[in-house]
Amino acid sequence: MTVQILALVGSLRSGSHNRQLAEAAVKLAPEGVDVRLYEGLAEVPFYNEDIDVEGGVPAAAARLREAASASDAVLLFTPEYNGTIPAVLKNAIDWLSRPYGTGALTDKPVAVVGTAFGQYGGVWAQDEARKAVGIAGGKVLEDVKLSIPGSVTRFADTHPADDAEVAAQLAEVVAQLHGHAGTQVAA
């Protein structure tokens, strides 16, 4: 049975290094794992309980929830914006947290990775994302981490998939997430 991992990227920029990192995860996924890069976070409206009503959920938010519900695990890729998580990723987490107690992230294994220009590789944003996902009901894999500093220079001429060190580390993250999701799928 193939394990489905949904990849959400917290940057909307087409040349984003975090998007490239997600593309590398898709490429490096081992046999038995399907990493799907979600398109469409830019279309999801800001979470508002007034529009999150049965029969009236905006189509973009409903598609996001369906994609997450159909996945066995979620892999978040986050840059760091002003020392924290980007709004688009936080918004996705907010939509996936509802309905309260039964949202699409409930009991689902979630890992958070990323790259940023700073010397710490976006660890503050990753910590914030883990915190939000945990409160949203996801099973945060606290031991599955990857923070890549210096993204602007490190990936100036090299795609993350072609950086041997990054590719090996990312493949290990996907393998660990697969292990957690596979255990849950078999249960």
Q: Is the peptide bond before 160 cis (omega within 30 degrees of 0)?
A: no
Confidence (pTM): 0.95
The CATH number that applies at residue 128 is 3.40.50.360
**DSSP label at residue 15:** T
Q: Residues with Cβ < 8 Å from 6, sequence gap 6 or more?
A: 36, 38, 67, 68, 70, 71, 73, 74, 75
Domain that holds residue 169: 3-186
Looking at residue 185, its pLDDT comes to: 59
Looking at residue 100, its pLDDT comes to: 86
- Percentage of the chain lying above the pLDDT 70 cut: 97
Looking at residue 187, its pLDDT comes to: 55
Number of domains in the chain: 1
Q: Are strands 109-115 and 139-148 parallel, antiparallel or unpaired?
A: parallel
pLDDT, tens digit, 9 for 90 and up, residues 132-183 = 999 999 999 999 999 999 999 999 999 999 999 999 999 999 999 999 997 7
Looking at residue 120, its pLDDT comes to: 87
| Other beta carbons within 10 Å of 134 | 14
Quick one: CA dihedral 109, 173, 20, 4, positive or negative?
negative
3-state secondary structure of 112: strand
Range list of β-strands (E), the chain: 3-9, 33-37, 73-77, 109-115, 139-148
Whether residue 108 contacts residue 139, with contact meaning beta carbons closer than 8 Å, is answered with: yes
